[in-house]
A and B are shown apart, each in its own frame.
Chain A
Amino acid sequence: DADVTQTPRNRITKTGKRIMLECSQTKGHDRMYWYRQDPGLGLQLIYYSFDVKDINKGEISDGYSVSRQAQAKFSLSLESAIPNQTALYFCATSGLTDTQYFGPGTRLTVL
C-alpha cells in the first residue's frame, strides 16, 4: 500500500464551486505539504504544516485553505474554484530529514 495517498486522483469542476482534496499518510511524519504543479514546471508550495496545530502559508496560498485534521491527514480546499487553478496538486510528507515523500497527485480541471 502507498505511504501517501491522495483523493480524488482526477477531478473536473466548474468555476465557483468549492472542492476539497484530501491527503493521508501512513509514514508517521509530522510535516505535511501541499504543492501545485503546472505543466512542465516545478512545484510551488501552497501550504505546509509542521504538526497538527501548526499551519503555514507557502508561496501561493491565495485562493486556497487547508485543514490538518490529524497527524495523518491534511486536506486542501478551493473555496471558489477558478480556471487558473487548473493544475496537478501534490501532497508530500517529511520526517526528521528534509526528504519529502510525495503522493501520486490529483489532476484538477476547473472549467
Chain B
Amino acid sequence: TQLLEQSPQFLSIQEGENLTVYCNSSSVFSSLQWYRQEPGEGPVLLVTVVTGGEVKKLKRLTFQFGDARKDSSLHITAAQPGDTGLYLCAGDPLSNQFYFGTGTSLTVIP
C-alpha cells in the first residue's frame, strides 16, 4: 500500500480541456509538494503547499492542500501539449522520510 495515492493513474485529454489530479493519504503531512517529470529527466518541483486549505496558482495550474493536510489536488485549466508529463505529489509525514505518490501520467493531444 502506497502512502500517497494519486488518481487517475493515466489521463489523456484534448488540448483546451480542464483536468484535476488528486493526491490522497491517510497520514497528515506538514507540507505537500507537486513535481512534474518529463521523459528522460528527473522530477522538477512545481509548488509546495504548507497550510491546510491553502490554494496556490501557477499560471494555468491551481494547487490545493486539504484542510486536514492529508490530501491535495492539482487542477489544470485549458491544458496544452506542453503540460504532458508525469505529475507526482510528495511529502514527509513527519517521519523524516520523504514519500512520492504513485504518479499521474498526463498526455495532452494537440
8 Å CB contact of A98 from B4, B41, B92, B102:
B92
B51 near A: Cβ within 8 Å?
no
B9 to A, closest residue via Cβ:
A40
A35 near B: Cβ within 8 Å?
yes
Chain B residues near A4 (CB, 8 Å)? Answer: 42
What is the distance, in angstroms, from A51's C-beta to the closest C-beta of chain B? 13
Chain B residues near A97 (CB, 8 Å)? Answer: 48
A45–B99 touching, CB < 8 Å: yes
A41 near B: Cβ within 8 Å?
yes
8 Å CB contact of A41 from B92, B96, B102:
B102
Chain A residues near B48 (CB, 8 Å)? Answer: 97-99
B44 to A, closest residue via Cβ:
A102
Chain B residues near A92 (CB, 8 Å)? Answer: 42
What is the distance, in angstroms, from A65's C-beta to the closest C-beta of chain B? 18
What are 29 A-B pairs with beta-carbon distances under 8 A?
Answer: A40-B9, A40-B105, A42-B2, A42-B4, A42-B6, A42-B100, A45-B98, A45-B100, A48-B97, A56-B96, A56-B97, A58-B97, A90-B43, A97-B48, A98-B33, A98-B91, A98-B92, A98-B98, A99-B33, A100-B43, A100-B45, A100-B98, A102-B42, A102-B43, A104-B41, A104-B42, A105-B40, A105-B41, A105-B42
User: Top 3 A-B pairs ranked by shortest CB distance?
Assistant: A102-B42, A42-B103, A43-B100
8 extra A-B contacts, CB within 8 A, seeds A42-B101, A45-B97: A33-B98, A42-B6, A42-B100, A45-B100, A90-B42, A100-B43, A105-B40, A105-B41
Give A residues with C-beta under 8 Å from B.
4, 33, 35, 40-45, 48, 56, 58-59, 90, 92, 97-100, 102-105
